[in-house]
């Protein structure tokens, strides 16, 4: 069984869309998505600086566009089997909705643009941040976060929990880290997936309520609890709630293994999810797609994609 995954914020790279725009239909797709999002995605994905595309309002639609270009080329060259699982990490869930047929690609870019802009404004309300906690005993890590005044925003599995909250709380955790854990500050604008993003919810929900929704054509995993979601409306409602609730990628991984996933493909801009899978899904074949040539490798090594 194949699991097709879409990465989240932090995976962006300067110029990441350039190689994809040389493919049939890609430029037209991106032009349509630019109109939907109100952003010049071609410029942002080819010539913009890394600093410019690190802006939350830009990063989120750009990452979704990248994943959807990769998915479109994968379908053009091969096939996506009907029993494929689809999952996205954080903003990647919006790309996953489109890949599973819940929303159109254009609506996915509209949703990503509004979500990114609303969360960017929420970040400006108070200085907040995120810090990755690597290793340690989970119970000890969670207690240290609570003592510092931080929330576990991303529980990624493989000994990785991302904490989020006020900058002074991040400072407090660095002064008193959990035993046998390493800390790494993340270059993000705020405390995503916590109550600090509450002001972004209503604006995003208002748009989500107007979007045409279908039930998933492919099995779709939710970041909320790692479960397969059968209702398209429920899936989109969960993405709305996710703005202020933690990403449970650890539970998504558990479901993938339980259902018998034997091939894991991360769409562009890949790296983060393949890295997590390397540690938590060691017996599963893993493939990261960064440039179009990587699709050839996936087609050659994942029998389901080539129809073999």
3-state DSSP percent of the chain in helix, strand and coil, to 5: 50, 15, 35
Report which DSSP code applies to 199: G
Catalytic residue check, 193: yes
* In a shared domain, residues 13 and 101: yes
What percent of the chain clears pLDDT 90, i.e. is strictly above it? 88
Catalytic residue check, 196: no
Task: Please give the residue range of the domain that contains residue 180.
Answer: 128-185
* In a shared domain, residues 81 and 22: yes
Q: Across the chain, what does the average pLDDT equal?
A: 94
* Helix axis angle, 201-208 to 232-241, nearest 10°: 170
Report which DSSP code applies to 101: T
H helix runs in the chain, sequence order: 26-37, 41-46, 50-53, 56-77, 92-99, 105-123, 138-148, 167-175, 201-208, 232-241, 249-258, 272-280, 293-301, 303-306
* In a shared domain, residues 63 and 100: yes
Whether the per-residue pLDDT at 302 is higher than 80: the answer is no
Q: Which of 37, 90, 270, 280 is catalytic?
A: 90
Domain count, the chain: 2
* In a shared domain, residues 118 and 132: no
Per-residue pLDDT at 307: 62
| Per-residue confidence band for 306, with pLDDT thresholds at 50, 70 and 90 | low
Buried b / exposed e along 228-259 (16+ C-beta atoms within 10 A): bbeebebbbbbbbebbbbbbbbbbbbebbeee
Helix/strand/coil for 197: helix
* In a shared domain, residues 71 and 27: yes
Query: Are 150 and 104 spatial neighbours (Cβ–Cβ below 8 Å)?
Result: no
Residue 274 belongs to domain with CATH number: 3.40.366.10
Pick the range with the lowest mean pLDDT from 134-143, 228-237, 287-296, 298-307: 298-307
Q: Which of 193, 270, 280, 287 is catalytic?
A: 193
Whether the per-residue pLDDT at 308 is higher than 60: the answer is no
Per-residue pLDDT at 215: 98
The backbone torsions φ and ψ at residue 184, rounded to the nearest 5 degrees and listed phi first, read -145, 115
Average the pLDDT over 102-108 and give the result: 98
């Amino acid at each position: 069984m194949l699991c097709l995954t879409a990465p989240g914020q932090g995976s962006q790279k300067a110029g990441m869309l350039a190689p994809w725009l040389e493919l049939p239909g890609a430029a037209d797709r991106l032009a349509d998505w630019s109109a939907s999002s109100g952003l010049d995605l071609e410029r942002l994905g080819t010539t913009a600086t890394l600093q410019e595309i690190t802006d939350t309002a830009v990063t989120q639609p750009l990452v979704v566009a990248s994943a959807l270009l990769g998915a479109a080329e994968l379908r053009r060259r091969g096939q996506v089997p009907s029993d494929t699982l689809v999952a996205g990490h954080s903003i990647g869930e919006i790309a996953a909705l489109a890949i599973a047929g819940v929303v159109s690609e254009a609506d996915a870019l509209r949703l990503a643009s509004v979500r990114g802009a609303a969360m960017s404004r929420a970040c400006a309300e108070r200085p907040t941040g995120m810090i990755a906690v690597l290793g340690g005993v989970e119970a000890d890590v969670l207690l240290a976060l609570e003592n510092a005044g931080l929330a576990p925003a991303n529980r990624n599995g493989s000994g990785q929990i991302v904490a989020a909250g006020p900058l002074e709380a991040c400072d407090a955790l660095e002064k008193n880290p959990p035993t046998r854990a390493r800390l790494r500050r993340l270059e993000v604008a705020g405390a995503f997936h916590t109550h600090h993003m509450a002001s972004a919810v209503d604006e995003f929900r208002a748009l989500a309520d107007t979007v045409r929704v279908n039930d998933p054509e492919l099995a779709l995993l939710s970041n909320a609890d790692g479960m397969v979601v059968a209702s398209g409306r429920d899936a989109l409602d969960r993405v709305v709630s996710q703005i202020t609730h933690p990403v449970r990628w650890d539970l998504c991984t558990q479901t993938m293994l339980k259902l018998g996933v034997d091939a894991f493909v991360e769409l562009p801009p890949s790296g983060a999810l393949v890295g997590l899978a390397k540690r938590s899904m060691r017996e599963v074949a893993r493939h990261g797609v960064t440039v179009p040539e990587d699709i050839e490798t996936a087609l050659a090594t994942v029998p389901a994609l080539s129809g073999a």
